[in-house]
């Protein structure tokens, strides 16, 4: 319920900000002209493309699992959708672990292994987005707004720092075990948590040793997922009658995705993402302000659709009673 409320409030807040920010550009005549040239069928296709990206993200997650026996992609996509709802309701790491617990329950796998695979998969996605945005920025000299270069640097540093920390914990799991033993391991009622941290340390090490071929699959699925979402955003703009520059739109999406790492730990803080996304659409993709604001609102609406779908799936999990072999999601 909290995730649904937060998601709805974020959409309402984005709509209000769009109205205020675009009050001078979104005149009655401009809105009517935008509506006349809009194609509802293309909007539906754009929503479908953006939603299909979740399937590839589930494949990316599965590629990082050490034990994939019985892990089917469509049910895992359902878990990923529920995880989107949980990210709106809970701080980033907590929502991620809750989604991993659902995956563990659904597929009878270790929650810690599912979490370790999810963390590695997420950093693969961030690294791919960061690399693409940096390459486009370096080769095409993107006309980013004032102050955005600093944001790019902060996002790059955050991704690089997180990747290094993840690599250290995966290569030297004893660091995590020792830190847990010296803190929560000394508190009696937290010993079960300490045992879970130890299992997580083992899982991080196991995922880190999967080898280059498995990581190459993770990169491939990350590229497919980013491509599906970026293509859906381009289609949404085209449905409005706009023709965004493909390279600029790719930079906008990948930079916004990489930059979201600094918002990951704060539920409801997605408004900063919307501001960055809209401003980049104008500066680099060449969209007019009304079109950029409309596309941003449409993207947020699609994300609310995912949140609502996650709520439906989560209610199904809560309502359905199964035995040890019955499905929980999907």
pLDDT score for 33: 65
Neighbours of 40 (CB within 10 A): 8
CA–CA dist 37, 25 (Å, integer): 17
Ranked by mean pLDDT, the top range of 6-10, 304-308, 311-315, 324-328 is: 304-308
76, two tokens: 């895992």
* pLDDT above 80 for 21: no
The tens digit of pLDDT for each residue in 246-296 reads 999 999 998 888 877 655 544 445 666 777 788 888 888 888 888 888 888
| Helix/strand/coil for 155 | helix
Nearest residue to 81 via CA among 320, 317, 308: 308
Instruction: Report the helix count and the strand count for the chain, using DSSP H and E.
Output: 13, 0
What is the pLDDT at residue 106?
A: 85
Q: What is the pLDDT of residue 98?
A: 81
Q: Is 268 left (phi over 0), alpha (psi -120 to 50) or beta?
A: left
Q: What confidence tens digit (pLDDT) does each residue in 43-71 have?
A: 899 999 999 999 999 999 999 999 888 88
3-state secondary structure of 234: helix
H or E stretch at 153: helix 148-171
- Over residues 209-260, the pLDDT tens digits come to 998 999 999 999 999 999 999 999 999 999 988 889 999 999 999 888 887 7
Rounded Cα gap, residues 252 and 274, in angstroms? 11
Supply the Cα-derived Rg of the chain in whole angstroms: 21
Does this model's pTM top 0.85? My answer is no
CA distance 200 to 206: 10
Is the model's pLDDT at 10 over the cut of 60?
no
Per-residue model confidence as pLDDT tens digits over 77-101: 988 888 877 776 666 577 778 888 8
């Amino acid at each position: 319920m909290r995730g649904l409320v937060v998601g709805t409030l974020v959409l309402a807040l984005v709509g209000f900000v769009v109205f205020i920010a675009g009050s001078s550009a979104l005149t009655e005549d401009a809105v009517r002209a935008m509506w006349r040239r809009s194609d509802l069928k293309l909007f539906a296709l754009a929503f479908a493309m953006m939603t299909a990206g979740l399937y590839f993200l589930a494949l990316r997650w599965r590629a990082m699992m050490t034990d994939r026996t019985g892990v089917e992609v469509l049910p895992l996509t359902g878990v990923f959708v529920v995880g989107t709802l949980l990210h709106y309701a809970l701080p980033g790491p907590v929502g991620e672990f809750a989604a991993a617990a659902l995956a563990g329950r659904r597929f009878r796998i270790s929650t810690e292994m599912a979490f370790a695979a999810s963390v590695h998969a997420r950093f693969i996605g961030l690294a791919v987005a960061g690399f693409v945005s940096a390459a486009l920025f370096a080769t095409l000299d993107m006309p980013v707004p004032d102050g955005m270069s600093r944001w790019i640097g902060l996002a790059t540093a955050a991704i690089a720092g997180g990747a290094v920390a993840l690599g250290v914990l995966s290569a030297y799991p004893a660091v995590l075990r020792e830190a847990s033993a010296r803190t929560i391991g000394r508190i009696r009622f937290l010993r079960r948590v300490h045992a879970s941290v130890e299992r997580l340390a083992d899982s991080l090490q196991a995922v880190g040793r999967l080898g280059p071929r498995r990581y190459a699959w993770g990169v491939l699925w990350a590229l497919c997922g980013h491509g599906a979402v970026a293509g859906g955003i381009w289609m949404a703009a085209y449905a409005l009658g706009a023709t965004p520059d493909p390279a600029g739109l790719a930079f906008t999406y990948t930079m916004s995705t990489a930059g979201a790492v600094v918002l990951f730990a704060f539920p409801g803080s997605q408004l900063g993402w919307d501001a960055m996304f809209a401003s980049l659409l104008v500066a680099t993709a060449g969209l007019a302000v009304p079109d950029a604001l409309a596309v941003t609102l449409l993207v947020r609406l699609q994300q609310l659709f995912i949140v609502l779908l996650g709520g439906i799936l989560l209610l199904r999990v809560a309502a359905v009673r199964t035995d040890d072999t019955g499905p929980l999601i999907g």
